[in-house]
């Protein structure tokens, strides 16, 4: 009868050190994040108190909140659309092996990385300073965030597209821009649309909180609700955000399935 292999592999000394360091890092992070079991135990009664004061959600300001939600969606749609359109030429420069050389590819990818690294709420603060309070600052923040997100993924999509049609057109003497326009972009189009739909979902989620810094949308109503202890209105806003975000996500899933189904 042969011996069964051990269920667990004995870690090497290096692996043991890595595990120990990882655990130490986690403990350090919890400490830095102010982990407090005492506060956690005190939270449920406080939450129950908030809930008792918030329920039932207020329907008094529903028309005004509804219009604010419409404005939120407008910010998200306009910003995401503009960002996705601008992302196409930027992604062409970022994609390796299309038009630009490695230096330009790296430079553009670094800039896109920077656009993504700065949170959308920070972009909103910057644009509030630049163009003033209101939805236009929010739209610009969403646009920049979408540009960073779509620019990177569009470039990856174009790099991954089947090279056959592009090579066939290159063999006929077509220029690089023509090859990109006629073979690479149409080949990557399903992925572009799928990424753009995800960008819209992301933009809707983001745009609901931009109002906290004065960049338009329903976020300001949430802030005012909490500031004035008008918890029923704040709860209404939270529920409206949840319904709209879930609705947009479901719409995105449906549209993506349609597009990917269409592709084959």
Partner 1 sequence: MRTGVKTAPVIDISVDRLAKSYGDGPPVLADLSFKVRQGEAVALVGANGTGKSTLLRCLMGLTLPSAGSLAVLGIDPAFAGRRELRALRAQTGLVSQKHNLVPRLSVLTNVIHGILGQRGGPTVWSQTFATDAIRMRAMAALGKVGLADLADRRADRLSGGQSQRVAIARALMAGPRFLIADEPCASLDPSAEEDVMDLFFRLVREEGVTVVFTSHNISHALKYGDRVLGLARGRLQLDAAAIDLGTADLRGLYD
- 178 contributes a contact to partner 1 by CB under 8 A: yes
Quick one: which of 65, 106, 104 has its CA closest to 220?
65
- Measured from the CB atom, the residue of 132 and 186 that comes closer to partner 1 is 186
- 182 contributes a contact to partner 1 by CB under 8 A: yes
CB of 102 to partner 1, least distance (A): 18
Contact 212, 226 (CB under 8 A): no
CB of 182 to partner 1, least distance (A): 5
- 255 contributes a contact to partner 1 by CB under 8 A: no
End-to-end CA distance of the chain: 52
Stretch that binds partner 1, among 24-32, 39-47, 185-193, 248-256 (CB under 8 A): 185-193
Contact 75, 216 (CB under 8 A): yes
Contact 224, 230 (CB under 8 A): yes
- Measured from the CB atom, the residue of 168 and 246 that comes closer to partner 1 is 168
Quick one: which of 79, 61, 76, 118 has its CA closest to 209?
76
- Measured from the CB atom, the residue of 49 and 162 that comes closer to partner 1 is 162
- 69 contributes a contact to partner 1 by CB under 8 A: no
Please state whether 145 falls in left (phi above 0), alpha (psi between -120 and 50) or beta.
Answer: alpha
Q: How many residues does the chain have?
A: 264
- 261 contributes a contact to partner 1 by CB under 8 A: no
- 49 contributes a contact to partner 1 by CB under 8 A: no
Among 167, 239, 253, 257, binds partner 1 (CB under 8 A): 167
CA 83 to chain centre: 12
- 189 contributes a contact to partner 1 by CB under 8 A: yes
Binding interface with partner 1 (CB under 8 A) = 164-165, 167-175, 177-179, 181-183, 186-187, 189-190, 263-264
């Amino acid at each position: 009868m042969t011996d069964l292999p051990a269920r667990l592999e004995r870690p090497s000394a290096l692996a043991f050190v890595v595990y120990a360091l990882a655990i130490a890092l986690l403990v350090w992070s919890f400490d830095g994040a102010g982990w407090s079991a005492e506060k956690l135990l005190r939270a449920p009664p406080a939450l129950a108190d908030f809930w008792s004061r918030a329920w039932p959600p207020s329907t008094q300001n529903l028309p005004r909140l509804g219009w604010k939600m419409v404005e939120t969606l407008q910010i998200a749609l306009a910003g995401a659309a503009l960002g996705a359109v601008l992302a196409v030429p930027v992604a062409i420069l970022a994609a390796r092996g299309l038009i630009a050389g490695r230096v330009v590819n790296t430079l553009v990818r670094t800039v896109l990385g920077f656009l993504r690294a700065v949170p959308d709420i920070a972009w909103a603060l910057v644009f509030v300073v630049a163009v003033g309070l209101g939805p236009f600052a929010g739209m610009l923040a969403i646009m920049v965030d979408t540009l960073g997100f779509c620019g990177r993924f569009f470039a990856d999509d174009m790099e991954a597209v089947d090279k056959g049609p592009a090579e066939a057109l290159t063999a006929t003497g077509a220029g690089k821009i023509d090859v990109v326009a006629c073979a690479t972009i149409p080949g990557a189009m399903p992925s572009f649309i799928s990424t753009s739909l995800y960008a819209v979902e992301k933009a809707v989620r983001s745009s609901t909180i931009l109002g906290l810094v004065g960049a338009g949308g329903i976020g300001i109503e949430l802030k005012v609700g909490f500031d004035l202890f008008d918890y029923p209105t704040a709860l209404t806003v939270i529920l409206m955000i949840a319904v709209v975000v879930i609705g947009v996500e479901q719409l995105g899933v449906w549209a993506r399935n349609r597009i990917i189904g269409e592709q084959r």
